[in-house]
Amino acid sequence: MAEDMSTPDVEALSFEEALRALEQIVRRLESGDVPLDESISLYAQGEALRKRCADRLQAAEARIQKLTVDAGGAVTGAQPFGAD
């Protein structure tokens, strides 16, 4: 494999990079061709990548605001995402 997934700097990865790395790990684990010790290591890396993706999504949701408009279509305010 061209990419070294043994020690990825998870915190330095963008959401997209972390998701791609996680998908590669899942494919390797699903193949069933990975020895047990390596599977355990890959699982731990995958969990770190999953957490990174979840944290990035949560941060993005926190930045999104729902705009409120009046009957004429004018923006009257904003409230945090999911505050319905």
Q: For residue 79, which phi and psi values (nearest 5 degrees)?
A: -135, 155
pLDDT score recorded for residue 83: 61
pLDDT score recorded for residue 80: 65
pLDDT score recorded for residue 8: 57
Reduce the DSSP state of residue 71 to 3 states and report it.
coil
pLDDT score recorded for residue 41: 96
pLDDT score recorded for residue 23: 97
pLDDT score recorded for residue 18: 95
Q: Which residues of the chain have pLDDT under 70?
A: 1-8, 65-67, 75, 78-84
pLDDT score recorded for residue 53: 96
Reduce the DSSP state of residue 77 to 3 states and report it.
strand
pLDDT score recorded for residue 82: 63
* Single-letter residue type at 25: I
